[in-house]
Amino acid sequence: MKLSDIAEIIAVIFLALLMLQFNNILSFVTGSSIPVAVVSSYSMDPVLHVGDIIVTVQAGDINIGDIVVYSRGNDYIVHRVIKTVNMDTYITKGDANSLPDSRPVTREQIKGKVYMVIPYMGSLSLIFNKSPILVIFYFLILISIIFLSDYLAEEKSKKNSSNHTENKT
C-alpha cells in the first residue's frame, strides 16, 4: 500500500468523523441551535418550497419580515414575523397561509433566523425521514465505498499484472 493510498483512507475517515460533528460545528459557527433544517410544508410558498434546505443564524434582533425557525412542542416551524407584540413576543404567519399563527411566539421559542436557502437539496431527507446531516453523511459513506472499491480493483489488477509478468519469465 502506497503512502498516497493511506493518505486517501485517512482523509475519508477524517471527513466521516467531521460529518458526524457537522451539526455541532455549524451550530457553533452560526450561533443557531437549529443551523440546518429542511422545509417540510407548503406554508411558506412561494418563498420556501418543500425540500428546500434552510441555513439559520442566531436570531439577534428580530424584525417584521424576518423568517424565523421556532419550536412549538416537539415541532419546528418556519414562518415570517408579521408583528411585534412586545420586546419578546411576536406574531408569525406562513406566507401561503391566510391567517396568522394561532399563538404568539416568544423569544425563547425562536431558534434562529433564515440566512440562506438551498433549493430542493433536502428532498432526500424528507423521503428517508432523516436529518439533512445524515443524508450528507450517507452520501459521504457512499462516495467512500466507491473510492475504496476502485482502490481494491486497482490493487487486484496490479497484483494480477505482476503475477502474469512473473509467470512469463
pLDDT digits (tens, 9 = 90+) for 38-97: 898 999 999 999 989 898 998 889 999 999 999 999 899 999 999 999 989 999 999 999
The structural domain count of the chain equals 1
- Within a domain: 141: yes
- Which residues lie across from 53 on neighbouring strands? 38, 118
Q: What is the pLDDT of residue 16?
A: 67
Is 169 inside any structural domain?
A: no
- Contacts of residue 111, defined as CB under 8 A and 6 or more positions apart, other chains included, come to 32, 33, 34, 56, 59, 68, 69, 70, 71, 76
Q: What's the pLDDT score for residue 79?
A: 98
- Answer whether residue 120 is part of any domain: yes
**pLDDT tens-digit map of 91-128:** 999 999 999 999 999 999 999 999 999 888 777 777 66
Structural domain includes residue 29: yes
Assess if residue 161 is contained within a domain.
no
What's the confidence (pLDDT) of residue 36? 83
166 is written with which cell numbers?
512473473
Give start and end residues of each alpha helix (H) in the chain: 3-20, 22-30, 123-127, 132-168
Does the pTM surpass 0.75? The reply is no
pLDDT for 162 beyond 70: no
pLDDT on residue 114: 95
Is residue 107 a part of any domain in this protein? Answer: yes
How many whole angstroms separate alpha carbon 17 and alpha carbon 102? 42
Alpha helices in 3-131 (DSSP H): 3-20, 22-30, 123-127
| pLDDT at residue 147 in the model | 82
53: containing domain: 3-151
Give the pLDDT score at 168.
Answer: 58
User: Using the 8-state DSSP alphabet, how is residue 114 labeled?
Assistant: E
Assess whether pLDDT exceeds 60 at residue 169.
no
Give the Cα-Cα-Cα angle 123, 126, 128 (nearest 5 degrees): 110
Domain membership of residue 160 (yes or no) is: no
CATH number at residue 133: 2.10.109.10
Question: Contact, 67 vs 47, CB < 8 A?
Answer: yes
